Amino acid sequence: MKIMLVEDNEAIIMGLEYLLSQEGYQVVTARNIAEASVILAKEECVLILLDIGLPDGDGFELCRKIKRQTQTPVIFLTAREEETDVVKGLDMGADDYIVKPFRNRELISRIRGVLRRSGKGNPVLRCGDIALNTETGRVTRCGEEISLTKLEYRILGSMMSCPGKLFTRDEILSDIWDISGNFVNDNTLSVTIKRLREKLGDNEGRFIRTVRGMGYRVEH
């Protein structure tokens, strides 16, 4: 999931490179239109964050070019005084815009929204310290890789796709029966959850919560 950032303000670049990488995106930065054009020609990006005032032209011009060449969604990063222009810019095919200075959470949710609408959701599910990449199958806790069995991975993956939701034991069992090779009974499920908690450093069940008599849910 690579995002191209087209921006010439070093403070914003630093902040966004950090923020986006924390969210599991790769970032490739262009500081002007010329650099952006080179990247555009050789890199496959899922989304472009586009500043308007750039040293060698304006972002609108670049947006037009992007939209001629690709289907890649564009979010304008705009200064307040440019806001009226941007509303016009949306007619050119930009997918959204956000006014600087923006709140990080708001930008991330705008990005997710645009990616969802364009059918490119984030493959990285994240709950607290735990991240699960549905493309690579990698599970990490605080960045440290954790090795899971197929069964453990499948159970964790379905629960992390809906944090906070109660998964009944029956739901989990019917979700995993096809990958387990042999029949998974209720007891095997309990044992698997216990092992999963151990691997995740969650021995007290604070991350994978037991909902007594019903099933489990993971915390956000």
Positions that interact with Ca ion (CB under 5 A) = 8, 51, 53
Instruction: Choose between 6 and 66: whose C-beta lies nearer to Ca ion.
Output: 6
- Tell me how far, at minimum, the Cβ of 81 lies from Ca ion, in Å: 12
SS3 4: strand
Instruction: Choose between 17 and 202: whose C-beta lies nearer to Ca ion.
Output: 17
Instruction: Choose between 24 and 57: whose C-beta lies nearer to Ca ion.
Output: 57
Q: Order of strands, edge to edge, in the sheet holding 130-133?
A: 124-127, 130-133, 139-141, 144-146
169, 215 Cβ separation under 8 angstroms = yes
- Tell me how far, at minimum, the Cβ of 193 lies from Ca ion, in Å: 50
16, 102 Cβ separation under 8 angstroms = no
Structure token digits, residue 178: 């096809």
- Tell me how far, at minimum, the Cβ of 64 lies from Ca ion, in Å: 18
CB atoms within 10 A of CB 218: 23
Pairing mode of beta strands 74-79, 47-51: parallel
Instruction: Choose between 53 and 163: whose C-beta lies nearer to Ca ion.
Output: 53
Closest residue to Ca ion in the complex (CB): 53
- Tell me how far, at minimum, the Cβ of 33 lies from Ca ion, in Å: 11
